Amino acid sequence: MSQYQVIIGLEVHVELKTATKLFCGCSAAFGGDPNTHTCPVCLGMPGVLPVINQEAIRLAVRSALALNCTVRAVSKFDRKQYFYPDLPKAYQISQYDQPLGEYGWVTIRGADDAAKKIGVRRVHVEEDAGKLNHLGQRLGDATGSLVDLNRAGVPLIEIVSEPDLRSAEEARLYLTELRAVLSYLDVSDLRMEEGSMRCDANVSLRPEGFAGSLEDLPRVEIKNVNSIRNVQRGIEYEVIRQTELLAAGERIVKETRGFDDATGKTYSQRSKEEANDYRYFPEPDLPPLVLDPQWIADMKRGLPALPDAIRADLVGRGIPEKDAEVLVLDREAYEYWREATALFQDERLVTNWMLSDLSRLINARGESFANSGVRPEGLVELLGLIQAGTLSGRMAKEVLEAMFESGQTASQVVKDKGLSQITDAGAIQSIVDQVLHDNPAVVQDFLSGKEKALAFMVGQVMKQTRGQAKPDLVNQLLRDSIQKNYAASQD
């Protein structure tokens, strides 16, 4: 048992999906030949002036509101000075003491299902830096570094949580929920591998009985981790490392650390800057950002349904909580579900097929719900055939696979493969009689009370009909025939 409590706060950077950069007209699109999305403004040439991108502000306000933040009617921009080759102006335009949004929260639900509110301290707008491409295998033996400023000046929001998270697992839940909320807003691509969503994790250990401010605990900031899984791994490693240091009587130094994907370890990068190292001051080239409170209120009303509301709606419709969770966390899956259930009233059947067989096939083909060859109409047609008794569940699985492979509709596949289910008792009866005749010992077993013997005979009939007989019909016919032709001899 540890005498320390794990304290975690996350800073998440999200690139906003605008056509142009935050303070100039350059393309904000990902990729492009190095330094082709640049101009004197984002290259930091002397004498140029920034102009705020209105769409970036709209997306930032939408995000802050969706995270339950209060949006300031007046906020301002500040210069954060630091010297690094990816930052041509030698300062980043950010927001310091008057961020766009404050005092929000994200609700997470752990395995025990108790909801927990994680505070969102602030959401502010800032510009991204450029990218350094190091020549050579590792940074340590790089022979040179190339600077690409295509990302310099792309709009970002930084979402800073309160230090409310208490485990690596809670950090995972928070990031998953945060990403889900943002996904419904169309504000960002949210691709951690491409860097459009990045996370810094602050980790400290609070000694039992410590009553001071959490801000005063020495914390480590793990910088720029590129997947939720790695944030979790980095925190897990850090908790062990810090616990061992303290157990050995050493002190935790406040520092910035990197995360090494290959080893799962964090490594020291530099001692952590304090706010006053950045010499923040108000950006003199930009006016304060003044937003009409009425416009903010309209934006709030215009928010789409968000995960909490969607979850409640799904569960209210009788969708099991686990399934609702899977649907909510994947917006494409949820939209697929909505389209399918608009056409088909058995929502649980849609859910079951989507989350089992359809998911499996989509994943195996590297597709997603949005670009899967089998569209909601196609799935619904298949489910209709199950409901009408034309296909058994087992046959439907086969049909679905064939639909993926051939691009055909369910009914085309059924026709081509001659697959429809035999529901006519007359057509099955002779096979039932034959199976009973061929397996007298099994019939006796059944009569002496072994229910399992029936399953064997059902299997035999199914085999002879190539799986096309309707299983419950076979079951019934077998029972009836045994009753009629064999049971009497027992008396």
> Would you tell me which residues interact with ligand ADP (CB under 6 A)?
7-11, 160-163, 202-204, 214-215, 217, 219, 275
Residues 6+ apart with CB under 8 A from 151: 128, 129, 130, 131, 195
Q: How far is the CB of 278 from Mg ion (least distance, A)?
A: 10
Which residue do the tokens 């910088």 mark? Answer: 223
Q: Work out what residue 350 binds among Mg ion, ligand ADP, Zn ion, none; the CB cut-off runs from 5 to 8 Å by kind.
A: none
Q: How far is the CB of 52 from Mg ion (least distance, A)?
A: 22
Residue 39 or 245 with smaller CB distance to Zn ion: 39
Residue 119 or 195 with smaller CB distance to ligand ADP: 119
Q: Work out what residue 165 binds among Zn ion, Mg ion, ligand ADP, none; the CB cut-off runs from 5 to 8 Å by kind.
A: none
Residues 6+ apart with CB under 8 A from 346: 383, 387
Q: Is 207 helix (H, G, I), strand (E, B) or coil?
A: strand
* The residue type at 113: D
For residue 232, give the nearest of 178, 167, 181 by alpha carbon. 167
Q: How far is the CB of 11 from Mg ion (least distance, A)?
A: 5
Residue 41 or 203 with smaller CB distance to Zn ion: 41
Q: Work out what residue 42 binds among ligand ADP, Zn ion, Mg ion, none; the CB cut-off runs from 5 to 8 Å by kind.
A: Zn ion
Residue 280 or 486 with smaller CB distance to Mg ion: 280
Q: How far is the CB of 305 from ligand ADP (least distance, A)?
A: 28
DSSP letter assigned to residue 22: S
Contact residues for Zn ion, defined by CB under 5 A: 24, 26, 39, 41-42
Cβ neighbours, 10 Å, residue 137? 9
For residue 7, give the nearest of 218, 198, 254 by alpha carbon. 218
Q: Work out what residue 215 binds among Zn ion, ligand ADP, Mg ion, none; the CB cut-off runs from 5 to 8 Å by kind.
A: ligand ADP
Residue 162 or 347 with smaller CB distance to ligand ADP: 162
Query: Which strand (E) or helix (H) includes residue 224?
Result: strand 220-225
d(CA 78, CA 244): 40
Q: What are phi and psi for residue 303, nearest 5 degrees?
A: -65, 145
Q: How far is the CB of 195 from Zn ion (least distance, A)?
A: 19
Query: What is the contact mask toward Mg ion in residues 1 to 30, using x (rule: CB under 5 A)?
Result: ----------x-------------------
Residue 170 or 381 with smaller CB distance to ligand ADP: 170
Side by side, the strands of the sheet bearing 70-71 are 70-71, 101-109, 115-127, 155-161, 4-15, 197-207, 220-225, 255-260, 265-271
For residue 17, give the nearest of 160, 183, 228 by alpha carbon. 183
Q: Work out what residue 8 binds among Zn ion, Mg ion, ligand ADP, none; the CB cut-off runs from 5 to 8 Å by kind.
A: ligand ADP
CA neighbours closer than 13 Å in the CB half-sphere of residue 112 = 5
Residue 103 or 295 with smaller CB distance to ligand ADP: 103
Binding residues for Mg ion, rule CB under 5 A, total 1
Q: How far is the CB of 102 from ligand ADP (least distance, A)?
A: 12
Q: How far is the CB of 42 from Zn ion (least distance, A)?
A: 3
For residue 394, give the nearest of 404, 385, 407 by alpha carbon. 385
Q: Distance of CA 79 to CAs 97, 126, 246, Å?
A: 11, 10, 38
Q: Work out what residue 24 binds among Mg ion, ligand ADP, Zn ion, none; the CB cut-off runs from 5 to 8 Å by kind.
A: Zn ion
DSSP letter assigned to residue 143: S
Q: Work out what residue 202 binds among Zn ion, Mg ion, ligand ADP, none; the CB cut-off runs from 5 to 8 Å by kind.
A: ligand ADP
Q: How far is the CB of 162 from ligand ADP (least distance, A)?
A: 5
Strand 101-109 relative to strand 70-71, pairing: antiparallel
Q: What is the number of the residue whose Cβ is closest to ligand ADP?
A: 9
Contact present, 331 and 305 (Cβ < 8 Å): no
Q: How far is the CB of 294 from Zn ion (least distance, A)?
A: 32
Residue 214 or 286 with smaller CB distance to Zn ion: 286
Q: Is the dihedral of CA 458, 461, 466, 468 positive or negative?
A: negative
Residue 24 or 64 with smaller CB distance to Zn ion: 24
Residues that bind Mg ion (CB under 5 A): 11
